[in-house]
Structure 1
Amino acid sequence: METGRPTADCSGPVAQPGNSEGPGGIRHMKVFFDTSAFVKRYVEEPGTEKVLEICDKADQLVLCVICLPEMISTLNRLVREGRLQNDEYRKLRDLVLEEIEDAEICFLTPEVVAQTIKCLESNVLRAMDALHLGCALVVEPDLFVSSDRRQLEAARRAGLKVMEA
């Protein structure tokens, strides 16, 4: 399993136009990553190249507050499965902790909970997948990225621009 620091950077101005315009007319792209896609930034899996490409184009990264615990859970599962060594785990954990300091974190608010409930009532979703989607609907990203097809379909129906990773 290949792991390590990705070459892509999710900060800085966007070379290609996004949907929102910032100071001085510079276009920006705000990208919301579900954990299923964000983990591919750190662990080589199908979709990693696409995630890194999106990070190259994004200047604002948005994550749900549950993304970090889900990431740690995923990395620990990889250790238990023997796909990741303990020293690799510690390096990746520290890298994730360092890099998400620059991300916008969407916290649980009454508005997020209300959106999450609407998502659960109108789609076949697991609660945590609906929570990511509820956050995304509140923060209104230019792009919602996930590896979960049901979640992507629900996001598309809710009016978000989506990309599968």
Structure 2
Amino acid sequence: MLVFFDSSAFVKRYINESGTDQVLDWCDKATEIGLASIILPEIISAFCRLRRESKISEAQYRQLKSLLLTDIEDASLCDLAPTISALENNTLRAMDAIHIASAIIMKADIFISADKRQCEAAVQTGLRVESLF
């Protein structure tokens, strides 16, 4: 089963917060993990913010970054996605539309997000959605 994660969901694989158990369960169920190519800078940015706010140490930052880089080696990344229709038909931010379009292009069996507006838009496109809120 191809399980597609947006950044708000996949980051929970590394940072223990509400929804982490669900993400780990879906990772276990997946035969393939799908991610938009923007996920790396988005999650690294989240790690950097946590480091700046002293919520994680420099050593923890390096460990999380290493785990992420290792995990995405085996993931399927969608480099380009037609996001125009997702943007035109919904009140989405550009990055949210890229995640949805990437999941559609990759023919994801399930789309997982912690963003309510993005989940609603994904349902409208016909994606099967698992929300983490």
TM-score by length of structure 1 reads 0.79
State the distance in 2 between where 1:125 and 1:82 align.
Answer: 31
- Deviation beyond 2 Å, 4+ runs, structure 1: none
Match of 1:143 in 2: 110
Q: Does 1:77 align with 2:54?
A: no
Q: CA deviation at 1:164?
A: 1.0
Deviations 1:87-107, CA, capped at 9 Å, x for gaps: 100001011101110000101
For 1:53-72, what aligned pairs fall within 5 Å after superposition?
53-72=25-44
Q: CA deviation at 1:32?
A: 0.5
Deviations 1:70-124, CA, capped at 9 Å, x for gaps: 010010011111111111000010111011100001011xxx22xx110010101
State the distance in 2 between where 1:135 and 1:56 align.
Answer: 21
Q: CA deviation at 1:137?
A: 1.2
TM-score by length of structure 2 reads 0.97
Which structure is larger by alpha-carbon Rg, 1 or 2?
A: 1
Q: CA deviation at 1:130?
A: 0.6
State the distance in 2 between where 1:127 and 1:44 align.
Answer: 27
Q: Does 1:152 align with 2:119?
A: yes
Q: CA deviation at 1:48?
A: 0.2
Q: CA deviation at 1:154?
A: 0.4
For 1:5-24, what aligned pairs fall within 5 Å after superposition?
none
Q: Does 1:104 align with 2:76?
A: yes
Match of 1:22 in 2: none
Match of 1:124 in 2: 91
The structure with higher relative contact order (CA 8 Å, sep 6+) is 2
Matched position secondary structure for 1:141 = coil
**Which runs of 5 or more residues in structure 2 are unaligned?**
none
Percent identity, please.
Answer: 52
